[in-house]
């Protein structure tokens, strides 16, 4: 990966302003930035070819949607070097942190995609993605249609998830969790795990191993973390 930049020196603190981060982002060869206009005019050349042309392997592809600083994307990539991870978000200044960490640790199984998640099906071909993570998304209390586990988003994911592909939601929000459970049950999608208090049980789940900075703060404050893992039936739309 690119060795340009100096983000390792400040340990990803807030020392750099947004403009400096945006400038440094352009030095990373594992960051792809696409607006609606660019997708409309150019398309995306890696659609259907992520493994062949970028990762150079046949390993599974896993997305983290709304990845923020990329803590979960990078954390998963550390644990599973034989899986390809792609963090997706629109906030480039936050994504800079994950880009730095992946570069400094030599994680060649990490990429980041800066775009609106509403455009996500423009970047991946049918059956190209094995798994999706949605970690602590904005619950959108007054805008259910914008929730990343809502019917309109699940229909987008169906276009590129493998038949046996799964979606994971990890959240501290009762609104987001209850909405997702209801949506999944109404669609009769299979539920593999469902916890309204993830850390209150003794199950040894990998989802417990990686905690983001804010997740730990919330746990320290006594908030409960919810988790649901479910499949998407390709033959049925919502």
Distance CA 211, CA 198 (A): 12
Query: For residues 194 and 156, is the Cβ–Cβ distance under 8 A?
Result: no
Query: For residues 57 and 32, is the Cβ–Cβ distance under 8 A?
Result: no
Q: Which two tokens stand for residue 86?
A: 């792609």
The DSSP secondary-structure symbol of 185 reads H
DSSP notation for 38-86: HHHHH--TTTTTIIIIII-S---EEEEET-TT-HHHHHHHHH-TTSEEE
Alpha-carbon distances, residue 124 vs 177, 194, 231 (angstroms) = 26, 28, 18
Positive or negative, the CA dihedral 209, 129, 53, 8 is negative
Catalytic residue flag (residue 203): no
Distance CA 38, CA 116 (A): 12
Q: Which two tokens stand for residue 145?
A: 């249609």
Candidate list 53, 138, 155, 174, residue with the active-site label: 138
Distance CA 235, CA 232 (A): 9
Mind telling me the catalytic residues? 138
């Amino acid at each position: 990966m690119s060795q340009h930049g100096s983000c390792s020196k400040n340990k990803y603190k807030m020392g750099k302003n947004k403009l400096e981060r945006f400038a440094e982002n352009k030095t990373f060869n594992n960051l792809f930035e696409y607006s609606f206009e660019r997708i409309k005019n150019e398309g995306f050349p890696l659609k259907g070819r992520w493994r062949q042309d970028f990762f150079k392997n046949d390993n599974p592809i896993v997305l983290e949607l709304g990845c923020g600083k990329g803590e979960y994307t990078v954390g998963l990539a550390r644990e599973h070097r034989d899986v390809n991870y792609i963090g997706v978000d629109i906030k480039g200044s936050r994504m800079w942190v994950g880009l730095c960490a992946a570069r400094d640790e030599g994680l060649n199984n990490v990429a980041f995609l800066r775009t609106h998640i509403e455009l996500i099906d423009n970047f991946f071909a049918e059956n190209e993605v094995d798994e999706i993570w949605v970690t602590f998304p904005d619950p959108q209390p007054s805008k259910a249609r914008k929730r990343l586990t809502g019917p309109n988003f699940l229909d987008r994911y169906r276009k590129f998830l493998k038949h046996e592909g799964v979606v994971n939601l990890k959240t501290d929000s009762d609104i987001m969790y209850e909405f997702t459970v209801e949506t999944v049950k109404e669609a009769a999608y299979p539920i593999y795990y469902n916890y309204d208090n993830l850390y209150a049980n003794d199950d040894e789940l990998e989802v417990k191993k990686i905690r983001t900075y804010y997740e730990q703060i919330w746990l320290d404050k006594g908030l409960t973390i919810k988790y649901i893992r479910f499949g998407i039936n390709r033959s049925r739309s919502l």
